[in-house]
């Protein structure tokens, strides 16, 4: 029996959603080393062994790895992405599970070649050890969603007319315009900066976002903010417009929307198969 699992491997945090489960951990990977002074371990601290290499992932990597880092590359087709996603699966699935995996890329990376390479990176049988527990996970199918876009579309039953969803990330800011329940491609895209790429105040960061959005959208429609920093940035957006709110589930908005979307898609596929048979 295959389990539908969504893993949103963001640059700041990796979020996982499956039936009845939500999980997250910091997307920080560092080299492993023996600790001489000991440590009080938490659920966000992981020692990960994969393909002969040993890593710290999560909070322990931030504090104990001299080479701890979060990749800020344009592509997600990297070993880091594979490590974060497999770690997420090992944390939430039992050994010898089969997962239909859904993950995502920014709007600017939404092309068939990037999606194909990401699928090839993740498909197959993988064995990974997290905090001493070894699990083998089979991934026979990978689907790649579009960050921000699916979450924006999922709001269509709650919001009328035209609205703009802004997904504030560590490396990029995705924005999606919805009009009468439909995406507007020419009014959607990715800004090439995020909360961790600019060494500026929150006030100036929001000014950068609004400056870029105002060049692309005239006028800027009512906005919905997503992302882990959305709530903290809301007051700064109020300096430009009062027609802005925070998504009701800003941290898990992408992952939860993709889970609901693909659960419906799989149900339709199953129903179609029954009819055809």
Residue 186 lies in a domain: yes
Q: Which residues contact 219 (CB under 8 A, 6 or more apart)?
A: none
Together in a domain, 102 and 23: yes
Residue 9 lies in a domain: yes
Together in a domain, 157 and 112: no
Tell me what pLDDT residue 273 has. Answer: 66
Together in a domain, 91 and 212: no
Beta strand 45-50 with 29-31 is unpaired
Together in a domain, 88 and 175: no
Mean pLDDT for 69-87 is 89
The overall average pLDDT reported for the chain is: 93
Largest CA distance in the chain: 63
Together in a domain, 107 and 194: no
Question: Over pLDDT 70: what percentage of the chain?
Answer: 98
| Domain endpoint, select from 146, 169, 192 | 146
Chain segment 6-43, per-residue pLDDT in tens: 999 988 899 999 999 999 999 999 999 998 887 888 99
Domain boundaries, position 164: 149-246
Together in a domain, 57 and 111: yes
Together in a domain, 109 and 178: no
| Domain endpoint, select from 130, 146, 162 | 146
CA distance 15 to 6: 8
Residue 177 lies in a domain: yes
CB atoms within 10 A of CB 23: 15
Which of 256, 267, 220, 230 has the alpha carbon at shortest distance from 5?
256
Chain segment 176-230, per-residue pLDDT in tens: 999 998 999 999 999 999 998 888 999 999 999 999 999 999 999 999 999 999 9
Tell me the pTM. Answer: 0.92
Together in a domain, 111 and 9: yes
Together in a domain, 31 and 44: yes
User: Residue 76 is part of a domain; what is its CATH number?
Assistant: 3.30.420.40
């Amino acid at each position: 029996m295959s389990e539908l699992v969504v893993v949103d491997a963001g640059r700041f945090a990796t979020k996982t959603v499956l039936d009845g489960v939500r999980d997250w951990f910091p997307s920080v990977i560092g080299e492993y080393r023996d600790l001489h002074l000991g440590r009080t371990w938490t659920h966000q601290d992981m020692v990960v062994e994969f393909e002969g290499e040993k890593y710290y992932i999560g909070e322990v990597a931030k504090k104990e790895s001299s080479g701890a880092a979060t990749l800020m590359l344009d592509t997600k087709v990297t070993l880091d992405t594979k490590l974060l996603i497999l770690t997420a699966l090992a944390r939430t699935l039992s050994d010898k599970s089969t997962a239909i995996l859904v993950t995502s890329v920014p709007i600017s990376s939404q092309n068939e070649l990037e999606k194909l390479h990401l699928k090839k990176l993740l498909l197959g049988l993988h064995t990974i050890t997290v905090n001493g527990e070894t699990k083998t996970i089979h991934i026979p199918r990978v689907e790649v969603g579009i960050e921000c876009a699916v979450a924006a579309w999922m709001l269509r039953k709650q919001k009328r007319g035209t609205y703009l969803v802004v997904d504030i990330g560590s490396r990029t800011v995705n924005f999606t315009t919805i009009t009468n329940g439909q995406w507007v491609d020419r009014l959607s895209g990715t800004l090439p900066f995020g909360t961790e790429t600019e060494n500026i105040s929150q006030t100036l960061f929001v000014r950068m976002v609004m400056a870029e959005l105002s060049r692309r959208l005239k006028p800027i429609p009512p906005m919905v903010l997503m992302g882990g920093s959305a709530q903290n940035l809301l007051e700064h957006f109020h300096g430009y417009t009062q027609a802005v709110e925070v998504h009701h589930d800003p941290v898990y908005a992408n992952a939860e929307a993709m889970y609901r979307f693909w659960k419906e898609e799989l149900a339709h596929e199953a129903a179609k198969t029954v009819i055809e048979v």
